[in-house]
Amino acid sequence: MLSIVHACAIVGLEGCMVEVQTDFNPRAGIPTFTIVGLPDSAVKESRERVRAAIKNSGLSFPNKGYVVNLSPADLPKHGPAYDLAIAVGVLAATDQIPLPSLPKAMFIGELSLDGSIRHVKGAMPLTYTAYQEGFETAYVAAEDAPQAGLVSGIEVIPVQSLGQLVEHLYGLQPIRPYRHEALTVTSSDNLPDGIVDFADVKGQQHVKRALEIAAGGNHNILLSGSPGVGKTLLARAMPGILPQLTLEEALEVTRIYSVADMLRSDQPLIQARPFRAPHHTISQPGLIGGGSIPKPGEVSLSHRGVLFLDEIVEIGSKTLEVLRQPIEDKIVTISRAKGSITFPANFLLIGAMNPCPCGYYGDVVRPCTCSPTMITRYQSRLSGPLLDRIDIHLDVPRVEHDKLMSDERGEPSAKVRERVEMARERQRSRFSQHPHLYANADMSVTEIKQMCVLSPEARQLLEISVKRMQLSARSYHRTLKLSRTIADLGSSDRIEVQHIAEAIQYRPRQMQ
């Protein structure tokens, strides 16, 4: 007898429906259980888990011939998420559950040997794919129900065990569907764990101003300074001044973390912007994503948030150079022989570095012990094309002792965030006809011409600066976008000369 049930596979961040076709041959002389359709080792091992789970659930597993085909057969299948669908297919093929209740249902879950159903990664995008394909019901592990329940328009059934599922399908002990909560992103003045309040950062007013501008337009920033001046502290204060996630953005980020299996069970919807700070020994696949089964890297995990690279010059040059494409295109494309997968990567980059190997070049207290050749070689680890993609270059000085010892608190992050949100609101209004734009940093050359209107004095100052500083075309356009953000923070519809002047001071003194 043949039965057909449905599961789902993850390809990148998207789902692809899979037909689980189970053929049962009661006349087979030699017991067999074959799984075809490009299964990996974890899928092949489903045979033993399914057999034990069915028997330990008090159900019958006739020791005859089984062939399970996972269609489409040319799509590689990975992981244990097909266990539940294969078990249901076996039970349907052996007349142990009513088949008519299954056509518009999707089953995802890993089976334990005792028949209980365990969590699998990607429950949210898998359920969303089922909804898009017109399915009415998704059967998932009880642990995954809050995550799957983020998708409205489809009934989510939280299942704890295979035996409970069989009783539900027969109508003996119906399982109550998971209640879809109204999706909202709650705003809070309390900063997430590990995030610093601007009020606790002593001095560094000009650096705080630069961070406010970076947050206002999602601009990349590079901080250079001696050890201990507060570069890391300032970077960790950045998420506190970024605007609150919108619901659409929260769902985008949640989908990425669901596929990466990094969602908390008690908080299925991510409420705060990501802040990722990988160690400088990170590998290229760890930063950009990849692997035999491509997974999101740090640039995708920081989507709609902050990617902080401390000691950025200590990261391998080949690893750093792969950042050039995602910084420019806001996406990451990972190409393999079997195909290409694209992950989103619209992040705000904060880099921090010492000015020289000993760390004290230009320091007013401790003398530098490095030769000019060592300093040049050290700073040249950041290539010109990468530096050209960073909008704000800033030297972070030592904090004066009287400010450091003062009990006076600075302006809190909540106040700075209000100004940033006002600037972002101006941008949203200006981008109403350009839904693909997220912030000023995302504007293309065509959009810069339309939206960056300069006063005559500002245009004259920009022309002089381009000639004297020998700005590249990319640097010229990034200066315009940065000026537009400064003007937005000042509630100005036109870019004035003071906006251009402030933007120009953030360009590096020497282009590599």
Q: What is the pLDDT of residue 181?
A: 76
Residues 9-32, mean pLDDT to the nearest whole number: 92
Q: What is the pLDDT of residue 511?
A: 37
| Integer angstrom CA distances of residue 422 from 212, 248, 261, 308 | 12, 19, 34, 25
Residue range 351-373, pLDDT digits in tens: 999 999 999 998 888 999 999 99
Over its C-alpha atoms, the chain yields an Rg (Å, rounded) of 28
Q: What is the layout of strands, in order, in the sheet containing 306-309?
A: 275-276, 306-309, 348-353, 221-224, 392-395
| Integer angstrom CA distances of residue 294 from 25, 384, 402 | 37, 29, 52
Residue range 74-116, pLDDT digits in tens: 999 999 999 999 999 999 999 999 876 567 899 999 999 999 9
Q: How far apart, in whole angstroms, are the C-alpha atoms of residue 259 and residue 306?
A: 19
Q: In CATH terms, are 2-169 and 198-415 the same topology? A: no
Residues 221-233, mean pLDDT to the nearest whole number: 93
The band of 204, judged by pLDDT with boundaries at 50, 70 and 90, is confident
Residues 293-321, mean pLDDT to the nearest whole number: 93
The band of 62, judged by pLDDT with boundaries at 50, 70 and 90, is very high
Which architecture characterizes domain 443-512 according to CATH? Orthogonal Bundle (1.10)
Half-sphere exposure for 53 (CA within 13 Å, toward CB): 30
CATH number of 2-169: 3.30.230.10
Residue range 158-199, pLDDT digits in tens: 999 999 999 999 989 999 999 877 777 776 666 777 788 898
Q: What is the pLDDT of residue 509?
A: 65
Q: What is the pLDDT of residue 512?
A: 36
| Integer angstrom CA distances of residue 296 from 117, 246, 300, 503 | 26, 22, 6, 33
- Ranges of each domain in the chain: 2-169, 198-415, 443-512
Does the pLDDT of residue 127 top 90, yes or no? yes
Structure tokens at 2: 């043949």
Share of the chain above pLDDT 70, in %: 97
Residues 16-34, mean pLDDT to the nearest whole number: 92
Residues 191-212, mean pLDDT to the nearest whole number: 87
Please, are residues 221 and 353 in contact by the beta-carbon 8 Å criterion? no
Does the pLDDT of residue 144 top 60, yes or no? yes
Q: What is the pLDDT of residue 10?
A: 92
Structure tokens at 299: 């640039």
Q: What is the pLDDT of residue 378?
A: 93
Lowest mean pLDDT among 188-197, 297-306, 477-486, 501-510: 188-197
Share of the chain above pLDDT 90, in %: 76
Residues 123-139, mean pLDDT to the nearest whole number: 95
Please name the helix (run of DSSP H) or strand (run of DSSP E) that holds residue 336, with its range, or none.
strand 331-336
3-state secondary structure of 89: helix
CATH number of 198-415: 3.40.50.300
The band of 436, judged by pLDDT with boundaries at 50, 70 and 90, is confident
**Which phi and psi (to 5°) does residue 388 adopt?**
-65, -20
Residue range 437-465, pLDDT digits in tens: 999 999 999 999 999 999 999 999 999 99
Q: What is the pLDDT of residue 441?
A: 94
Q: What is the pTM of this model?
A: 0.91
